[in-house]
Structure 1
């Protein structure tokens, strides 16, 4: 039997409320995690409702299978949400009533030392969401050029000491392989000594974030799934996205804004009226303002402090 973590997702009720679940609707949970959002959605679905959940993490997938075994309305898929159209097609689902994307890494992943996501716990430098495929963080650090590491740490971690950190990693790996989280955290700490004392963030925070994002292609997969969401949502269907850092939120915000207020008409090119109508068609309506967790949630779960939820609704453009 798979043990289900007591992990509570950030903005749990707010996110499910934003989906505006109808009893007979079909919904997608793009990141099952430990099933907090999925369970609440299922509570609001009727007998003929349907929920399809995605997760590429093997432990999360196993937890989802356990839920699937006891609820015929639920379907668990071992895949990245970036394949949403392909998977729904295979399941004979043309359109859905709502999609929830809870981005980033989950608390259970951070709390498992052998996953390598956290600098607080010493473990192997893995960092893969799906441990069955792809390159580990340790393998990448062993082979990446200094210039490439600097680029990743700077762009995905928004780290101003990226050059110094990349240089320190190259120097350290020439002496011995970098294979554990504590090794990497210690190396990074030597390169960011000038960070202000009042900054309480661990020196390794941004570097670990950057490497994790790169290894898992998180931003690329997010950019791939958003336009697919628009295509599979029914008119009136909701897209709810919860981001945990500025890079994710920037992509979500820009996509929703551009889909709600398209400005794609080419300059100085004559177009027929029907072409203008097609190119300027609005596909989404932004619902409300971006919101974060309430004070009570922040007090109970400090990790929620960076969460931002955005909601959009599919318009009828046919």
Structure 2
């Protein structure tokens, strides 16, 4: 059976589902104990697996589900069934959490999840062009109404900019040769499919490197996807936005899948968890106290059993914090 013929719940296994809900649960319970109807944000709704788990465990919970992919939102609603009555969908990127909350009519939320990266639905939909394992249009847009695709970048960026993106967003050591190969190849004919781009990349990466570093196109495809969707810039704005939006006692879970994402999450969460008082200052004023406390020791990772069940979970890293006082802007 093709992936697009499967039910949403069969096409998508949410990564570390139970652990994520366990981390967020005390914040939801705290809202209930305070006599407040709890509200959570799923900043990357996808196919709704984590939201389904949250809504199922907490019958009083409302979830604001943010996603830039309208197709994924429709599949999430299908998956949720009657639970969707407590879902407030918002079409956009998760740095727009203030706008999503305003649309839902709330000023603060109790819990939030950012499950980053490309979704299973997008990877499995061949026409979206995210994967290097089969030939498809070179697209990679998470929001297919956006103007700029991967084919656009490959066609229009100069060699210097291509090299910069591939090195920065893909951490690819052969960024220079790959960028030169792309520029040479597109002068002969447009690079419009994933298959053609893979062929071009193969000409620039030594065979020996592919034997030890995985598929030679993996990092370049990651870089183009990140650049097309502005993923790192959006994440950089989204973490402080959601931390500011939490009630005191609220919790945030961030799940990343590569070092670039985790680095941004760690930087923001560490800053909000630190005192801003000068070193050695005898009395720490409240405005210098940490705003959050860290709930995870470093990053948590999926169990071996979960990785066996869902191979896409293997690279997941989870960080979580609890808000312990009203917001301030970290130094």
The normalised TM-score by structure 1 is: 0.91
Specify the alignment match of 2:313 in structure 1: 304
1:4 counterpart = 2:8: yes
Cα displacement string for residues 287-317 of structure 1 (whole angstroms, at most 9, x for unaligned residues): 0221111011112222222110000001124
| Aligned position for 2:265 | 252
For residues 58 and 50 of structure 1, the distance between their equivalents in structure 2, rounded to whole angstroms, comes to: 20
Normalised by the length of structure 2, the TM-score is: 0.88
Give 1:313's aligned residue.
322
Of the candidates 59, 64, 67, which is equivalent to residue 76 of structure 2?
64
Who is 2:238 aligned against?
A: 225
Bigger mean CA offset, 21-30 vs 248-257: 21-30
Unaligned runs of 5+ in 1: none
Mapping for residues 95-174 of structure 1, pairs under 5 Å: 95-174=108-187
Q: Secondary structure at the match of 1:196?
A: helix
Partner of 1:287: 295
Query: 1:174 aligns to what SS in structure 2?
Result: helix
Q: Deviations over 1:27-57 (max 9, x none)?
A: 11111111110100001112x3211111111
Residues 133-164 of structure 1: CA deviation (Å, up to 9, x unaligned): 13011011111000000000000000000000
User: Structure 2: how far apart are the matches of 1:201 and 1:156?
Assistant: 17
Identify the match of residue 201 of structure 2 among 185, 188, 201: 188
**1:68–1:75 Cα contact (<8 Å) kept:** no
**What displacement does 1:108 show?**
1.9
- Matches of 1:88 and 1:246, distance apart in 2: 29
Q: Distance in 1 between matches of 2:117 and 2:260?
A: 11
Counterpart contact for 1:64–1:76, Cα < 8 Å? no
Partner in structure 2 of residue 17 of structure 1: 22
Question: Which residue, 94, 97, 112 being the options, matches 1:84?
Answer: 97
Q: Is the 2:132–2:194 contact (alpha carbons within 8 Å) kept by the matching residues of 1?
A: yes
| RMSD between superposed Cα atoms in Å | 2.3
SS of equivalent residue, structure 1 residue 247? helix
Other structure's SS at 2:110 match: strand
Which residue of structure 2 aligns with residue 234 of structure 1?
247
CA deviations 1:46-71 (Å, max 9, x no partner) are 2x321111111121121234467733
Q: How many aligned positions are there?
A: 310
2:266 alignment partner, SS class: helix
Query: Would you say the 8 A contact 1:25–1:45 is kept in 2?
Result: no
Mapped to 1, the partners of 2:150 and 2:48 lie a distance apart of 27
Structure 2 unaligned runs (5+)?
Answer: none
Which stretch shifts more, 151-160 or 308-317? 308-317
Distance of 1:100 and 1:148 partners within structure 2: 33
How far 1:236 moved relative to its partner?
A: 1.0
